[in-house]
Structure 1
Amino acid sequence: MTDSADPSVRRRQFVQALGLAGAAGAAGCISTGGSTDGGSGGTNTGGGGSGTAMASDANGWAWNIAARALANAAETYNEKKGANVSVEEMGGNTWEQRFQTAITSGSGAPDFSAIQNYDVTAFGSKNGLMDLTDRIDEAGVREDIVKGKWETVSVDGKDYALPWDIGPTGVFYKRDRYEEAGIDPTSLKTWDDFIEAGKQLPDGVAMVNIPTQEVPQMWRMLFRQLGGQPFTKDGAVNIHSEESVRAVQLIKDMHDAGITKRIEMWSGGWFTAFSEGTLASIPTAAWMDGTLRAELPDTSGNWGVYKLPAFEKGGTRASNRGGSNMAIPAQISDKGVVNRAWDYIEYAMTTPEVQNTMLQEYGLFPSLTTAYESDIYDEELDFYGGQPVFRLFAEVAREIEPYRYTTDTPEVQDAINTEVGNVLSGKKSPKKAVKDAAQTVADRSGRDVA
C-alpha cells in the first residue's frame, strides 16, 4: 500500500470535529449498510465472532488496488459462504474525505473499510471505529501477525482494526546501472557504503531520489529503522531524539554527496528516470513491486532488491513504510451486518492463500506470518533477474519494530517536512531542525516535549 503524504489539515479538522460531536453521536447511529431486521439481504446463521445470525449483505470501502484485492477475495468468500459481500473502489483522497465525513456525522459509513495505519489512531481514539479486541482474541490470530504491526491498530490497549498489509523495506535497484558502475549490492552493508557507491555512478545518474513531498516518509523509514518513537509512552513529543538527528543527518549526507535527485514522486518524469536509468535505486517498501511491474514492464529482468543498509556495521536493516488494516465503523448498529463484515474480514485477512493471492496479483505484502510458509516466497522472479525477493521481504517483516502513531502524527509529518527542508537549504543543522520540529508539534498539539 502506498505510503503517501498524510493529508494533515483535513485529518486535524476531522479529529476536532469528532471531539465536538462526542462519542455517543458517533456510536449511536444506524449504518446505511443494513437495517435492524438483519440487513438488506436478510439473515443466515454462521460464525461472525459469537455465532449469532449474520446478514447476507455487507458493503465495504477501499482505495485503488486495495479495493481490487478485497473485491477479488469477496468473490471467493461469497461462493464459499453464500453471501453478498461487495467492495466499492475509490481514489485514496476520495476515500479519506468520504470516510471522515461519515464518521464525523455519525451516518453513512460502510459496513467495513480498509484503513491506513495512521488513520486508526485518529478514528479509533474518538470512538469512530468499533473495538474489535474480543473478536480478534476469539479468532486466535495474534501470534500469526507480525509483532511490529499490532501497535498500529491499538489505542489505549484496545484493537480497532485487524492488521492487513505491511511495508517491509528494501532498496530496489537497476542492475545495469550498478553493474556498469562496478557496484556490488551485496557489499552495501551500511549507509556510508551506499553513499560511496553512489559517487561511482556517472554524471546524470543519481543513486536516490528525495523529492520534497517524500522527505517525511524517508525520515520516518530511517527513524523507525533506528527504533525511534515519535512520542513517548506518556504522549510527549520525541522527534528531537538522537535517532531523529541521525536520520536527518543521513538525508543531508546523501544530498551533500551529490548522489540525489529531487523529482516529484509518481510523476511521468519519475517513471521515465527509472526507465532510462537516470535514477539507479529507490529505498522503499515491498509494495513498490506492484507499481514497477505495472508501470515499467519493459524493465523486467533489470531489477534487484537488497536490504536497507544499516547505520553501522551489524546494525538493523529492517524498517517499514506504509501499510493498512481492516476496520468496522462504530456506527454500524445491526449486529447481523457487523457479524457478516467481521466474518469476511477474518477470512480475507487470516487465510494464507487469500493473502498470497493479494501479494502475487496486487503487490500487497501480508503481515500474516503463516502466509510466509508458501513456496511462492522462494520463487525466482523473472522481473528481478531470478531473485526470490518475497523471501527477502518476509525476513525483513519479522524484524520490524513497533511504531507509535497518535492523532498528532500528521503534525509530525508537517514539521519534519519543513525542518528537513531547512537542513537541505543550509539554514539549520539536523540537531537544531529536529529540536525546532519537536517544539512546533508540541505547540500545535498541546503536548510536552520529552
Structure 2
Amino acid sequence: MTAISRRSLLFGAASAAALLVAGCGSDDDGGDGGAKPAGASDADIQAALDAGGSITVWAWEPTLKQVVADFQTKYPKVKVTLTNAGTGDKQYTALQNAMKAGSGVPDLAQVEYYALPQFALGKQLDDLGGYGSAKLDGTFTPGPWGAVHSGGTLYGLPMDSGPMALFYNKDVFDKHGVAVPTTWDQYYEAAQKLHSADPKVYITSDTGDAGFTTSMIWQAGGRPYKVDGTSVGVDFTDAGTKKFTTMWQKLIDGKLLAPVNGWSDGWYKGLGDGTLATLVIGAWMPANLESGVKDANGKWRVAPMPQWEAGGKVVAENGGSSLAMPKLGGNKNLAYAFMKYATVDAGAQSRADNGAFPATTAQLSAAAFRDKEFPYFGGQKVNQVLADAAGQVASGWSYLPFQVYANSVFNDTAGKAYISGTTLQDGLKAWQDASVKYGQEQGFTVK
C-alpha cells in the first residue's frame, strides 16, 4: 500500500450510501439473488490455468507489477491486466460506479481492511469458502486474517499488514538525553522533556486522524464497535477508549503535539530536520521514510510500540489491504488462482523482497527477512521488531460496516478537539452520534 492510500478518507457519503442501499435492499442490483456461492477445487483451478484466459486486477500497490510479470511467465496462457483505478477513495468510487452500472467490474480488487466490511455487507464480494480457503488458516498473522472475515465469512486474502511500532529519531533523543519510551506514561514524559529542551521539537504531530485514533483505542483495549450483520453498536465510553483519551488529552492540553497534517510537506520536513521526533505507525513505514525523508538517513530507529502496562506486549494494526473478488467480475477460477499466487505462493515472497510488509507467517519468520539490515536505520535489523509486533496484535477488533463514511466525518467531530476547547472524549461522543445517525438512516439497527 502507498502512504497516501493508508491515510485517505475513502469515498464520500453519497457513494457509501449507494453501496449500502445496494447491499441491504433487493438482490437484483448485484446481491446474492440466491445464487450458488463461487468455488472450485484445486484441480479446477489448475485446469483453468492450463486453459488460459484473461483477468483484470484493480490495485494501486506497486509490488504487484512484478507479481503480474512473474505470474504470466509461469502461466503464459493467462493475461493479467493490472489497472490503477485510483488510490483508496478514488478506486472505491470507480468500483462502486461499475457495480452500479453492472459492467466494467474487475475480476479482483484491492480493498483496505477497514473498507472490506462495507463491501461485504453490500453483498458485492464473493465468499471464498468454496475455494477451500479454510486450509489457509495459520498462513497469515491473526490481525490481517481476522480483518478479511466478516460475519464468519472470508471475503479476501491479506496482501500486507500494519502492526504498529515506535519509529524515533535517535539523534534527537541522544542530543537531549531523553530515554526512548517503553510505556505511554514515559512517552508523555519524553514529550515534555523534548519540548522543554527545544521548543521547536515535538514528540509527534497530530491534527486528528481517524485511523490512528481507532488503532490507539484498539491497543488500549477499547472495543467501541460491535457488529452482528446489520445490528451495530457504537460506544466510545468504554474503559480502553478512556485510557487512550486521558493520556492523549494531556499531550493536546500541553501543546506537545505539532499542529502539522500528516503526509504534508511540513510533516516530511519535520521528520527530516528533527522537529518531529517520533511516529507511532504501521510496519509499512520504513520505505516511506527512506524515500520521503532522505535528509534523515541513518538517524531513525524502530522500537516496540509503547505499552499501557510496563512489560506488556500488545499492539494494534494500522493500515493494510486485501485482494477481494467482486461478484460481478468474471473468470473466477483464474482470479482466485492469481489472488492466491500474489498473497500466499511465490508472489508473497516477491512482494516482501520488493518492500511490502508481509501478512504471511512464512515470510515474517524467515531468517533472511528478520536479519535484513537497513542502512537508513543505522544498520538496525528493523524487521525483527516489526515481525515480533505482527504476532502481538490484540484480538477482537471490529470495524463498522460503514467505516468509510464514519472516517470521512472524523475531523468534523472528534477532530475539533485539536483546534478548540472540546475534549477528545467529547469529540469522540460527537463522532459516535454522527455514526449512529448515519447508520440508522441507512437501515442499520444501531445502538
User: What TM-score, normalized to structure 2?
Assistant: 0.87
1:71-86 equivalence runs, <5 A? 71-82=65-76, 83-86=78-81
Count, aligned residues: 422
1:200 deviation in Å? 2.2
Moved more, 12-21 or 273-282: 12-21
For 1:4, the aligned partner's letter is: R
Are residue 358 (structure 1) and residue 374 (structure 2) matched? no
Deviations 1:246-295 (Å, cap 9, x if unpaired)?
22222211222332102122221211111111111111111111111112
Q: Distance in 1 between matches of 2:132 and 2:281?
A: 30
Moved more, 15-24 or 82-91: 15-24
2:226 matched to 1:232? yes
Deviation per CA, 1:95-122, whole angstroms, max 9, x where unpaired? Answer: 1221111122222111111111122111
Please point out which of 303, 310, 315 is paired with 1:313: 310
Note the alpha carbon deviations across 1:322-379, whole angstroms, 9 max, x for none. Answer: 110001110124xxx211111111011002x5334323423x2111111123222112
Matches within 5 A, 1:53-64: 53-54=48-49, 55-63=52-60
Are the structure 2 counterparts of residues 316 and 228 from structure 1 closer, same or farther at C-alpha, using a change threshold of 3 Å? farther
In 1, Cα distance between equivalents of 2:272 and 2:287: 15
- Counterpart of 1:195 in 2: which secondary structure? helix
Residue 365 (structure 2) pairs with residue 373 (structure 1): yes
Select which of 84, 99, 104 maps to 1:103: 99
Residues 414 and 253 (structure 1), Cα distance of their counterparts in 2 relative to 1, 3 Å cut: farther
- Unmatched runs of 5 consecutive residues or more in structure 1: 30-44
Q: 2:263 aligns with which of 261, 266, 269?
A: 266
Identity rate of aligned residues, in percent?
23
Alpha-carbon distance, 1:432 to partner:
3.9
Q: Distance in 2 between matches of 1:391 and 1:49?
A: 39
Q: Secondary structure at 1:236's aligned position in 2?
A: strand
Q: What amino acid is aligned across from residue 313 of structure 1 in structure 2?
A: A
Instruction: Tell me if 1:216 matches 2:220.
Output: no
Structure 2 residue aligned with 1:38: none
Asked whether the equivalents of residues 24 and 121 of structure 2 are also in contact (C-alpha less than 8 Å), the reply is no
Cα RMSD, aligned residues only: 2.5
Q: Which structure 2 residue ranges, 5 or more long, are not aligned? A: 34-39
Residues of 1 paired with 2:214 and 2:255: CA distance?
22
Q: Name the residue aligned to 2:36.
A: none
Provide the C-alpha distance between the structure 2 equivalents of 1:11 and 1:390, rounded to a whole number of angstroms.
Answer: 38
* Greater helix content: 1
Mapping for residues 22-421 of structure 1, pairs under 5 Å: 22-26=26-30, 47=42, 51-54=46-49, 55-63=52-60, 66=61, 68-82=62-76, 83-92=78-87, 93-137=89-133, 140-185=135-180, 188-201=181-194, 202-212=198-208, 215-234=209-228, 235-333=232-330, 337-351=331-345, 354-362=347-355, 364-374=356-366, 375-402=368-395, 403-414=397-408, 416-421=410-415
Give the letter aligned to residue 255 of structure 1: I
Q: Distance in 2 between matches of 1:162 and 1:48?
A: 20
Q: Calculate the TM-score normalised by the size of structure 1.
A: 0.86
The answer to whether structure 1 residue 6 and structure 2 residue 14 are counterparts is no
- Structure 2 counterpart SS, 1:104: helix
Q: Secondary structure of 2:357's match?
A: coil
Q: Return closer, same or farther for 1:270/1:114 CA change in 2, 3 Å cut-off.
A: same
Separation of aligned partners in 2, 1:211 and 1:136: 44
- Relative to structure 1, the CA distance from residue 46 to residue 191 in structure 2 (aligned partners, 3 Å threshold; closer, same or farther) is closer
Following TM superposition, the consecutive aligned residue runs of length 4 or more in structure 1 with deviations greater than 4 angstroms are 45-52, 447-450
Whole-Å Cα distance in 2 between the matches of residues 21 and 368 of structure 1? 36
